[in-house]
Amino acid sequence: MSRETVQEDARWRPWLQLRFAKGVTRLRMARLIEAFGDAETALGASARQLTDVQGITHDVARAILDGDCELDLDAELDLLETHRVRLLLRGDTGFPEALEAMDDPPGLLYCMGALQDSDRLAVTVVGTRNTSGYGRTVCQDIAGRLAEAGLTIVSGLALGIDTAAHRAALRRNGRTIAVVAHGLTRIYPEENEGLAWDIVHHGAILSEYPMRAAPDRFNFPERNPIMAALGLGTLIVEAPSKSGALITARCAADMGRTVYAVPGDVTRAGSQGCLQLIRDGATLVTAAAEIIEDLAPQLRDYLDSRPRDDGTPTQTDAEETADGERGGEPADGAPTSEPYQPTLSFEEAQLIEIIRRDPAHFDVLYERARALGMEVDAGRLSTLLLELELKGLVRQAPGKMFIAEEGVEYRWTDPGDYETNQNSPGYERV
């Protein structure tokens, strides 16, 4: 056992002991951490101090004090090491801040893979397991384009819409996070084992359940608030009137997140959940650009908060050194990292070449884009510039000046000729 493993065991053990003490639920764990600050302090508290915490009964306090745990802690720690799973502890740097929006944020999360700071820019995409061809196509288009724009796709690894969302992100070289309702010694459903492996190397799989926990049906609605909290907004692509995806939508709305819904065939039962969400006030969307435009203020806040011009790595630098940020050596058999090369739409490729020729003010860029034949209004231009910033190709300087980042190559996939710039450095049509 390595020195690092020994240190991790010592740190993780009290958190596991507290979280899985008999009678400690996620809500009770949340209140204990809020009251005592960390697991070690809570375990050292007196019975009186414990029962002063709302929801902690005498029986629960006694279980905590007696170390009456539902887990074999030694075996659990061995499984963490064997399966290369880390624990993310509430209050630690690596724990997702977005989960603090929950009434009962989990005290700990099991993580296979790794989270990155850019995962704060995420959209949750969920829907029915029994999806139609229409639902899959729309999901692949919207989720894929969101991922291309630099947004992380969060979903639940289920069949149907979840699978389509994860795969779309991976196809576009984006990041994706799966929040599952079981322990990480298994993958459910089994059909998604290969997909899960891909997710681990391009994002993370998260769970709040012990390593050997089965996919109990009660776990699925319990994990849905975590998915909702991780996204800046939640997109429901296709769902019947009694879909679990609607639970995620309600959770998102309760946390103040925007709920988006894709309209479907009014004659199909599988569309009724989305149609009802729209009637209840969800934002109707048909394209990724509509979501990006709606989230623009939050995305801008993140971009503006990133250090610049002081030697601190930018998002582009972070992408180029992703393996280091993902927690050290890649897993055995893991694909080696490739140079960061974002894929652009035809419009984005046109715009970046305009900026590369000469940095310019927003108004000047608008005039040049129109002169080049781009059919964009000011709102669309703003969205395109934001997408290029998220991909690390452009940065906004004071005074609404836009400057191209140096040394980043890109690809574009849309059809059509682009004779003017096809010989430009960094340009590759695929």
Higher pLDDT, 119 or 326: 119
H or E element that contains 404: strand 401-404
Asked which of 127-141, 163-177, 266-280, 370-384 is least confident by mean pLDDT, the reply is 370-384
How is residue 235 annotated by DSSP? Answer: E
* 57 vs 119: CA distance, rounded Å: 37
pLDDT in tens, 38-88: 999 999 999 999 999 999 999 999 999 999 999 999 999 999 999 999 999
Region 142-167 average pLDDT:
96
**Full strand arrangement of the beta sheet holding 343-344:** 343-344, 410-412, 427-429
Region 109-136 average pLDDT:
96
For helices 378-390 and 296-305, the axis angle rounded to 10 degrees is: 40
Domains of the chain as residue ranges with CATH: 3-82 (1.10.150), 117-297 (3.40.50.450), 343-429 (1.10.10.10)
Residue-level pLDDT at 160: 97
Asked which of 118-132, 220-234, 254-268, 409-423 is least confident by mean pLDDT, the reply is 409-423
Full-model pTM: 0.81
328: left (phi over 0), alpha (psi -120 to 50) or beta: left
Residue 189 burial (C-beta neighbours within 10 Å; 0-12, 13-18, 19+): middle
Give buried/exposed letters for 309-328 (b at 16+ CB in 10 A, else e). Answer: eeeeeebbebbbebeeebee
Q: Which residues contact 423 (CB under 8 A, 6 or more apart)?
A: none
How many Cα neighbours within 13 Å face the side chain of 214?
Answer: 3
Mean pLDDT of the chain: 87
Residue-level pLDDT at 226: 98
For helices 3-19 and 73-82, the axis angle rounded to 10 degrees is: 130
Tokens of 178: 């799966």
Q: Where are the beta strands (DSSP E) in 20-99?
A: 86-89
Residue-level pLDDT at 307: 58
Q: Among residues of the chain, what percentage have pLDDT more than 90?
A: 73
What residues form DSSP beta bridges with 429?
412
Region 246-254 average pLDDT:
97
* 172 vs 168: CA distance, rounded Å: 6
How is residue 423 annotated by DSSP? Answer: T
* 60 vs 56: CA distance, rounded Å: 6
